[in-house]
């Protein structure tokens, strides 16, 4: 999992604004003004011919080249439900983009306001991704705290009430709770909302959530590669997803419209969307997320017994190397349990690599050692 915070979304082009206070003269008006002149004026002066030609050119140019303000609103990057003529004429800037992003969804519900859930609610509110952001929490004290936040429109301990009228429901609970939450939503869902999640394992979740929600809601798996070794709503931040990759993992049966809107949602909160199959996702994250966490935790565990006073002697290198080991042990046990086959494959492959490093050192193969160190530096420098 990656730290908080660190899309390459380019702002779309919009027509230049038309000032309603400024009278807009047309070629027709100029022609009428010229026809109303006195008959005493010179009729064949070269300047008059030039002005006449200019006026005719202006008329034909305006007839055959209408202003950009007549562009169709359907060309905007997100579906716009209540866009006015004034907003269409607004010049491109960050505020305009956020206003348009508000039309991705009218109402969304975020289930479980931990670090990811609360950060997602803040981002959706700040960027105007949805008109209303509703949250569900297990405990009433959490609901009371949420209702004091400017980014929370509604909150409830009743899942059905929290999800009522929502177009998008995001399950931000731990991986071992996502499937049961989807099964509960299937008992009351109406209107075929989109349901997605933030779980770091996808194959089993996508398969079982799709089955549970069939005919009730449309499930699209997601996994934002964002987070922190810190947990809880108190550590949430609105830019957690900025410039971070987010996997979107549709099955072969996924609804195309739901897939497109899910991708638009993650892009609107700042993520760079990567579409992969659920199985391929699990293979990738076992190598780039699950394995690094286990290595950091294993190194910290080893040093705890081999060099218990390491904190006295170490510099920033050890702290940087083991930072993610501070993540929740319960959460990571669940992640490894859900992705056990891919994690084991990644560990075995790393053991083989570690053997080559050990052999290079033991055999005094300094060239091989240097090559491994250089390859490691090159890879790290490009991250």
pLDDT block averages, 10 residues each, the chain of length 383:
44 42 41 40 46 46 42 35 32 34 80 95 94 96 95 97 97 95 97 97 97 97 88 90 96 97 96 97 97 97 94 92 93 94 97 96 96 96 94
pLDDT, residue 103, reads 57
- Rounded-to-integer distance, Cα 91 and Cα 83, Å: 14
For residue 176, give the nearest of 338, 291, 339 by alpha carbon: 338
pLDDT, residue 159, reads 98
Residue 160 three-state SS: helix
For residue 196, give the nearest of 8, 181, 228 by alpha carbon: 181
Q: At what angle do helices 340-362 and 366-381 cross, to 10 degrees?
A: 140
DSSP letters, 190-239, are -S--EEEE--S--HHHHHHHHHHHTTT-EE-EEEES---S--SGGG--TT
50, with CB counted inside 10 A (0-12, 13-18, 19+), is: exposed
179, with CB counted inside 10 A (0-12, 13-18, 19+), is: buried
For residue 270, CA distances in Å to 4, 95, 98, 108, 302 come to 13, 14, 11, 17, 38
For residue 178, give the nearest of 141, 207, 147 by alpha carbon: 207
- Assigned token pair, 188: 């009351």
For residue 221, CA distances in Å to 55, 101, 134, 290 come to 60, 21, 20, 18
Dump strand ranges (E) for the chain.
105-111, 130-136, 154-156, 168-171, 194-197, 218-219, 221-224, 245-249, 272-275
**Residues 6+ positions from 134 with CB-CB distance below 8 Å:** 107, 108, 109, 110, 152, 153, 154, 155, 156, 162, 163, 166
pLDDT, residue 61, reads 43
DSSP state of 148: T
pLDDT, residue 303, reads 95
DSSP letters, 252-264, are TT--HHHHHHHHH
Tell whether omega for the bond before 280 is within 30 degrees of 0, i.e. cis. no
Residue 170 three-state SS: strand
């Amino acid at each position: 999992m990656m730290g908080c915070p660190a899309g390459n979304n380019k702002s779309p082009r919009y027509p230049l604004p038309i000032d309603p206070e400024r009278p807009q003269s047309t070629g027709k008006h100029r022609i009428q003004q010229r026809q109303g002149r006195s008959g005493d004026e010179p009729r064949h002066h070269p300047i008059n011919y030039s002005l006449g030609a200019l006026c005719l050119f202006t008329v034909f140019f305006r007839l055959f080249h209408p202003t950009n303000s007549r562009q169709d609103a359907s060309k905007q990057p997100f579906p716009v439900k209540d866009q006015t003529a004034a907003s269409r004429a607004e010049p491109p800037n960050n505020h305009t983009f956020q206003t348009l992003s508000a039309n991705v969804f009218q109402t969304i519900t975020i289930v479980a306001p931990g670090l990811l859930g609360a950060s997602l609610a803040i981002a959706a509110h700040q960027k105007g991704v949805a008109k209303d952001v509703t949250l569900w929490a297990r405990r009433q004290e959490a609901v009371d705290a949420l209702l004091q936040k400017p980014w929370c429109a509604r909150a409830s301990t009743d899942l059905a009430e929290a999800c009522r009228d929502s177009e998008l429901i995001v399950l931000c609970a731990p991986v071992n709770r996502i499937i049961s939450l989807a099964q509960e939503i299937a008992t009351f869902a109406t209107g075929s909302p989109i349901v997605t999640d933030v779980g770091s394992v996808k194959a089993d979740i996508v398969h079982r959530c799709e089955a549970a929600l069939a005919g009730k809601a449309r499930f699209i798996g997601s996994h934002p590669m964002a987070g922190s070794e810190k947990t809880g709503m108190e550590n949430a931040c609105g830019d957690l997803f900025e410039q971070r990759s987010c996997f979107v993992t549709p099955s072969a049966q996924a609804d195309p419209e739901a897939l497109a809107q899910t991708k638009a949602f993650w892009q609107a909160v700042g993520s760079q969307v990567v579409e992969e199959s659920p199985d391929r996702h699990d293979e990738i994250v076992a190598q780039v997320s699950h394995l690094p966490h286990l290595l950091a935790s294993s190194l910290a565990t080893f040093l705890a017994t081999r060099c218990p006073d390491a904190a006295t002697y170490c510099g920033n290198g050890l702290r940087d190397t083991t930072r993610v080991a501070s993540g929740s042990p319960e959460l990571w046990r669940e992640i490894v349990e859900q992705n056990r086959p891919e994690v084991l494959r990644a560990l075995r492959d790393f053991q083989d690599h570690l053997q080559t490093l050990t052999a290079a050192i033991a055999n005094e193969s300094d060239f091989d050692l240097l090559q491994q160190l250089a390859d490691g530096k090159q890879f790290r420098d490009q991250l």
